[in-house]
A and B are shown apart, each in its own frame.
Chain A
């Protein structure tokens, strides 16, 4: 009974960590599939290590083209819907929101528990896809009909696609329930004195990401149900005589804002981590809040930039091109404010800080390459080439994943009550940064040279054959990037059991979560905290304690 109560816990911290562990597990599969994709692109139709022998004993471990399609479909789906979204909203949202606003738990703890326990069913659906006739879904993570709805169009569309849709619909329901909770909690459960403009930017970002999810996911989920209906009930919403473009609109209506669901929380985390470890308040708090708001609102007006060459009305393309160009502005404002935060500061180069700094460098790159893609005539060339792949990996890996690592190193002591090994953490940063650049930077050049994404063998085209050396070097970096994550895993598991005990406030940070024990007990705070000031009261010019905690201090500083 006690075990059952722990597994189906309604404590936001337990649920947050459940999202953490399952996100980590899915990330392993996502990373593995990425390495296999790279293997095929560097050495097409050669024996795939490990997996090859298991999946293709007949061909001597050589993958089939449809398996390659299944791989990149799986990679995109897992990384977006089962890794970065659940980690940034499920893990960080659950764990941090109540602690950072001084609440004892979420507004709807039971709903919260249900939102997590839908995820294993979604993961199971994804896994079942690999076991059915024809194999797992092969229409890409975007699953455009009619490829996804005609059962004869590709082997994965026979049965695998149905399981893919089920997984997406379930994951969507899970995220929606979570989002209801985050929004309500932030609106209703802020501690006394925690005005809107006293909330840490992490909370603002998680709150706005949840708003995006509330508005967007139901559209994608209903779109998914329509596609299920096309496949299972024989309707024709997306058939050639219906509207294949309708799916693209419904998909991207959330598919694009989903990018902001995975970048806003990372931006929030990075703002806080930079501030704490630079011993300086966030520069321009209000512009930072307004730019988050701006991104949230504009983020719903740019989805059709994925469809410039889709055959939709070109007048729409023009409008979406203009809106997409302008959305660069709030992101630019954030970059300048981060740099101003760091300006003249006293940087503590902890692992968390390093990943936050790395985030800034890589996010700038991904944001700037978006300017070419927002320009409609240029995007005609770039669309569906590796340039786009480079662009969004700088955002999702350089942005979201670096943000996640920064959060991991920053809040691990609070979450697990132990300190991580800083030397391992710094080595992990250096390797991850260098190898991520090695993997993603030159993908811009692959795309410029005209290499389309989602092709199993670029050497088919004479004009792409000179790209082989580039593809091989990218693959080597990708394999090493995967291998270097051993440092992260080793640090995590070693510190979990052997790390030194964490004090209550190891980073001398001002926000509320550091007033609670590490890890916080059920109910989080001994006495309800009362908030007296904003979260960024650092003044390094003073002697001794250089920060003012947000709350009336309940305990002497540890």
Chain B
């Protein structure tokens, strides 16, 4: 039994290490990061992975080893030590120092992601106005680009259902809105997630660094259709982005009426 239990714990430790080590090769890791702010997330993740890995192997591996080495049945114990002050100090101070360090290094990237003082600035030094409004409702996404008047919520808004189109390689600010319950704007490839509360505007910002189409998911339970609240984000070079807006404007005028689709 002793050998079985020790093997069980050792195998568990090996399996856990393996599951993280091979994750990228199997698509079990975070998808490729394509946003500037995501870099710090991946860096922090990697650092924590080393800390977690070291303590995990030390403690679970240690447990397996202790069980393996333990005396059994009638044999006496080698140690009846009940406490040891130096050891207690050691395993309080060392992890404590690592944790304090970890608590501090997360502050700057968090500030860059979520503090309103970090909203990207335009050339005039003022916070960049939102590129568009993103409206979430049960169970779809809709991007609303301002028309010729430069404002949303007027008759000439350009609608893009299910697909958000953004220019690549420049900071983008979005204004998130909900029509009904709480939804959450989640783009894994940007490392970006933000809940959207009904009745208020929530700003998010990012800079996508690679043209492409990325999944947009709803990450907050919003009702029976939560699972199918899928959308996408298409990142285009500036010129193609302008073409997209032009096409949308043409669609709007050719209909001769407000595009409600």
Contacts and interface: CB of A to CB of B under 8 A. Distances in A.
A402 to B, nearest CB: 13
B91 A332 contact: yes
Contacts of A241: 199
A450 B15 contact: no
B31 A449 contact: yes
Secondary structure at the A interface, as helix, strand, loop or mixed, is helix
A444 interface: yes
The 6 closest A-B pairs by CB, nearest first: A240-B199, A344-B79, A445-B28, A314-B114, A450-B188, A455-B227
Given A325-B99, A364-B60, A376 B110 contact: yes
Interface residues of B, number: 98
Contacts of A140: 221
Contacts of B15: 437, 441
Given A368-B56, A380-B193, A540-B77, A329 B223 contact: no
B70 A345 contact: yes
A326 B4 CA distance: 35
A441 B19 contact: yes
Contacts of A153: 138, 180-181, 223
A235 to B, nearest CB: 16
Interface stretch (A261-269, A335-343, A492-500): A335-343
Interface string B37-77: 00011001100100110011001101100110011110111
B215 A463 contact: yes
Interface string A379-402: 011011100000000000000000
Contacts of A321: 103, 106-107, 110
A280 B99 contact: no
Contact of A283 (B27, B81, B102, B226): B81
Contacts of A318: 107, 110-111
27 contacts: A153-B180, A280-B79, A280-B80, A311-B195, A321-B110, A325-B103, A325-B106, A332-B55, A333-B92, A336-B59, A342-B70, A343-B81, A347-B71, A349-B72, A361-B12, A364-B60, A381-B191, A383-B219, A384-B219, A384-B220, A442-B19, A448-B23, A449-B27, A450-B30, A454-B227, A457-B227, A463-B215
Nearest to A328: B99
A371 interface: yes
Contact of A240 (B41, B59, B197, B222): B197
A435 B222 CA distance: 32
Interface string A307-325: 0011100110110011001
Interface stretch (B82-90, B145-153, B242-250, B253-261): B82-90
Nearest to A143: B221
B194 A364 contact: no
Interface string A339-367: 11011111101000010010011001100
